[in-house]
């Protein structure tokens, strides 16, 4: 039976010759992930079950990133719960302050996920790892607890949509523009419980960071997962990092797709998602005059080194506009250190921005940049729902690091060409 990339990975981990869309399977997991918000819930369920030991302590990762360093007593207690559980269960992949990062940037960097893997995480953006040719998806904390107990999880095999990417993106177009364009095209439920499979000649122009961003936001189209082929770009990233042997799965030529969508990357413009849905996308001629109060550049979506370089390219020798707060958040300590060595942090601070320790922070309205009543932010994060980053009357405009940095300079929603002309 012909299968997609995702179906082949699921079949392999279920010990089956083939699977088909809609089939229910039980499959062996390579990694189970939780953070300081979802982890305590999973740990509580684990303890309620009466099971004493996790199955495969090396196949569990607990990352303290949403409210760490702790913002208040409640967040401190949540991290303490995870810390004590990690010690009790001898979980080696426990990441806390000083050894931390935003989970979906940290795990690939640490070589804990890679090609052919089957990964679940109690966080919706776990679909990020499809950039490396893995099947990864978000689950609830109860499924996370079951995964820790058994090392397995059940799946309903998804149908797939094939996105054929052609052409070369223009200079200031990156993965964020591509995925926002796609979500604007198909809607926030356009790939509901589907696998978004990316292929085509155009993917050779996409860096691994672009692919992380695209797969990260597959969930914003309702997808079960997003996935790229494990090509030379992905294998080069995994080289010297990935702790297991990559398993490369390719879609069969006659694999069945619900539909096929072709996208010419050379035709794309800077794309911004206006409030209050990622599908509410507009290009520069539609933006109008949108004055802003804050810019956030970071998150699991756009806190990679290439994102910081893009922001620095715009901010170098320029100043953040008066009355605009610019917050830069490297996604991991390794990225933070690299940004320091490359002089990017100097550029940010000299421009009038601040640089934070790695944290999810403002993305979910946690801390490090909460919006007040009627304030507007241009952000490289992945969601702009009502009240997502603060007050229910605040607004979030999702954008690439180029657009975010340009907007920080002008004080209004702006394209990079406006600043660099």
Domain CATH for 404: 3.30.499.10
Give pLDDT, residue 393.
96
In a shared domain, residues 19 and 159:
yes
Token look-up 């949108």 returns 290
Model's pTM, two decimal places?
A: 0.94
Question: Which token pair is 378?
Answer: 């241009």
CB 402 within 8 Å of CB 174: yes
Residue 173 CA to its chain's centroid (Å): 18
Token look-up 């403002």 returns 362
In a shared domain, residues 255 and 369:
no
Is position 420 within any domain? no
Give pLDDT, residue 364.
87
Question: DSSP states of 106-157 as a string?
Answer: HHHHTT-S-TT-EEEESSGGGGGGGGGT-EEEE--HHHHHHHHHHSEEEEEP
Domain boundary among 264, 291, 312: 264
User: Any residues with CB less than 8 A from the CB of 147 and at least 6 apart, and which?
Assistant: 29, 32, 120, 139, 153
In a shared domain, residues 43 and 191:
yes
Is position 220 within any domain? yes
**Cα distance between residue 69 and residue 53, in whole Å:** 28
Q: What is the mean pLDDT of residues 352-369?
A: 91
User: Any residues with CB less than 8 A from the CB of 153 and at least 6 apart, and which?
Assistant: 26, 27, 29, 120, 139, 143, 146, 147
Summarize pLDDT for 129-187 with one digit per residue, the tens.
Answer: 999 999 999 999 899 999 999 999 999 999 999 999 999 999 999 999 999 999 999 99
In a shared domain, residues 319 and 196:
no
**Cα distance between residue 204 and residue 229, in whole Å:** 11
Give pLDDT, residue 401.
97
Domain count, the chain: 2
pLDDT band at 100 (very low <50, low <70, confident <90, very high): confident
**Cα distance between residue 105 and residue 330, in whole Å:** 10
Give pLDDT, residue 400.
97
CB 152 within 8 Å of CB 244: no
Summarize pLDDT for 31-79 with one digit per residue, the tens.
Answer: 999 999 999 999 999 999 988 899 999 999 999 999 989 999 999 999 9
Whether the upstream peptide bond of residue 209 has omega within 30° of 0, thus cis, is no
In a shared domain, residues 306 and 229:
no
In a shared domain, residues 151 and 289:
no
Give pLDDT, residue 214.
97
Strand order in the sheet with 376-379: 281-282, 272-273, 395-398, 376-379, 294-297, 325-328, 354-355
What average pLDDT does the structure give for the chain?
A: 95
Q: What is the mean pLDDT of residues 310-314?
A: 97
Question: Which token pair is 206?
Answer: 């996409």
Is position 219 within any domain? yes
Domain boundary among 247, 264, 281: 264
Summarize pLDDT for 188-245 with one digit per residue, the tens.
Answer: 999 999 999 999 999 999 999 999 999 999 999 999 999 999 999 999 999 999 988 9
* Apex 260 CA angle, 258 and 261, nearest 5: 130
| Percent of the chain topping pLDDT 90 | 91
Is position 421 within any domain? no
What residue numbers bound the domain in which 367 lies?
272-414
Question: DSSP states of 74-115 as a string?
Answer: HHHHHHHHHHHHHHHTT-SEEE-TTS-B-HHHHHHHTT-S-T
In a shared domain, residues 141 and 216:
yes
Residue 352 burial by Cβ neighbours in a 10 Å radius (0-12, 13-18, 19+): middle
């Amino acid at each position: 039976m012909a299968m997609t990339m995702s179906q082949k990975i699921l079949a392999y981990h279920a010990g089956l010759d083939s699977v088909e869309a809609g089939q229910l399977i039980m499959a062996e997991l390579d990694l189970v992930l939780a953070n300081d918000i979802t982890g305590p819930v999973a740990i509580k369920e684990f303890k309620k079950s009466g099971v004493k030991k996790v199955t495969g302590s090396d196949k569990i990762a607990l990352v303290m990133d949403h409210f760490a360093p702790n913002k208040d007593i409640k967040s401190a207690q949540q991290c303490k719960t995870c810390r004590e559980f990690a010690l009790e269960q001898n979980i080696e992949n426990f990441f806390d302050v000083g050894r931390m990062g935003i989970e979906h940037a940290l795990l690939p960097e640490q070589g804990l996920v890679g090609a052919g893997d089957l990964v679940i995480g109690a966080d919706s953006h776990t679909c990020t790892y499809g950039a490396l040719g893995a099947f990864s998806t978000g689950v609830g904390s109860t499924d996370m607890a079951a995964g820790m107990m058994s090392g397995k999880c059940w799946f309903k095999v998804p149908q797939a949509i094939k996105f054929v990417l052609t052409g070369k993106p223009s200079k200031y177009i990156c993965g964020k523009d591509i995925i926002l364009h796609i979500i604007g095209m198909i809607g926030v439920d356009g790939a509901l419980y589907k696998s978004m499979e990316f292929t085509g000649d155009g993917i050779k122009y996409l860096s691994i960071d672009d692919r992380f961003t695209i797969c990260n936001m597959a969930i914003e189209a309702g997808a079960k997962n997003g996935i790229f082929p494990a090509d030379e770009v992905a294998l080069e990233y995994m080289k010297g990092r990935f702790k297991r042997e990559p398993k490369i799965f390719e879609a069969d030529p006659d694999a069945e797709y619900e539909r096929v969508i072709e996208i010419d990357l050379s035709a794309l413009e800077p794309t911004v998602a206006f409030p209050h849905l990622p599908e509410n996308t507009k290009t520069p001629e539609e933006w109008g005059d949108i004055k802003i109060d804050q810019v956030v550049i970071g998150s699991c979506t756009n806190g990679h080194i290439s994102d910081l370089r893009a922001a620095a390219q715009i901010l170098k020798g320029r100043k953040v506009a008066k009355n605009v707060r610019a917050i830069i958040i490297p996604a991991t300590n390794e990225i933070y250190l690299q940004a320091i060595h490359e002089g990017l942090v100097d550029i940010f601070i000299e421009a009038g921005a601040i640089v934070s320790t790695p944290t999810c922070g403002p993305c979910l309205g946690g801390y490090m940049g909460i919006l007040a009543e009627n304030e507007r932010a241009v952000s490289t994060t992945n969601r702009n729902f009502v009240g997502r980053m603060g007050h229910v009357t605040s607004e979030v405009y999702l954008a690439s690091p180029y657009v975010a940095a340009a907007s920080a300079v002008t004080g209004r929603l702006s394209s990079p060409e406006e600043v660099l002309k």
